[in-house]
Structure 1
């Protein structure tokens, strides 16, 4: 395999009615753990570098180039994606660096400004063969932005996609960023309605707070790209903490970071398999969601 175009991986998953994991990179060890998980599972994966990650590393190029090299050398199909970029300059830099897709997040702006800014980034990316994801409807959680009950309107979403030309859309259906407990409840009927209305794949942000069975049902209802960060980070951190508690005299950081990488990788592999099996396993849920959507329309 080699570095894969994000749009191709998402399109294949959408056509098959399954989900694809999009896992956030924090540092090189998380990227390595995610890629090795994809190799063991023999499944594709999307490495996500967020604007927050770029800030932490002091720039896009070092961590971005590392992810691109890992993808190019992997035996799995690995795409590299810029996540939650609110800076259009950063989004264009990721395009120029060779990322397969960028998520441009102008959702803090009012609707018309969001459309204009997103359309401009999409035009730049598409001229260079790069896909664009955007967000409509507040996802919640970060920076005090949580707003209970906020949901994406299917008709507004269709108009937004048509006006901006984006290739995938993150929708607000009940999840919230940075949750450390898995108890979020998703609006499966709304997912089915939005899926039926739009021609582009749907993206679930804030998936760390969503239980396995609910994620599977969401995929069956029409969700394709499933973003996970906090949940995997928890596996990494707990493993490091346990190792340090058991080895108080260790000073070589490779010893405990490697343990964290292994723990994260094991859970990433499990989630990739879950997402890839969800569509076929949850056909009944998808039909139920569509029926509910029809009644609510």
Structure 2
């Protein structure tokens, strides 16, 4: 029997074929400044979470959703992405309130970061349609239309903050180096030392360096387990942004936006998929099933949480 993520890939590929044949929208890779969301393409029945329940997905399945849903961005942002983002948001909230499930030094115990991540997801849940009060308020309607522009700076801040926390054996939350280490970038060795005389050797301010620390030090030395789905996610990103390698994608996107060179929206859903993968990766694979089950049980038993939670997202698309 196929795993959930394998069934998801089958559905996703059919959805992409259907969407491209039935719509006049050009692909994201051909119009890098454009973004499409929740358009009626007559292909909605093929979306992943019309058929499958994300609550039944294993740890491996959830991790693989990060690259599968990035591939789906060849078409548009749809309810699959909202279900994935809000599921991860809800798991993070559940870990945050369950002191018995998490390490007090983990990102799930960091209220500032959790609040920022929640805010990012909540911005992306703003929508307008005939069934929403947003539709009747011009300010909220415009906010809904421009939400990916608004979320851009926050998405990079949340990603950078998460990577610093994941790399806590090497840098602190400000990017200050706390232990000596080296990374390889484009075939060159770059060394960092908290006692170095050069300021640049005592501070890590580039996202591609943080990713390198994660992949070359944190994962193999401290974590000693792979980050499922990360390599495939890189491949899917490079397919969408042709002639751009992953490391340049995250670094240049951050720098052009935060320094005001360029204002874009189409990188946000990809950064969101990366953030969600990085966050799920913080959970021990053997514990994920019990955590997911515990969250669902809490939702089933508590009407209060059902009213307050964003999962499942209230969408009519």
User: Structure 2-normalised TM-score?
Assistant: 0.26
Bigger-Rg structure (1/2)? 2
Structure with more contact order per residue of length (Cα contacts < 8 Å, sep ≥ 6): 2
User: Structure 1-normalised TM-score?
Assistant: 0.27
Of Structure 1 and Structure 2, which has the larger fraction of its residues in strand?
1
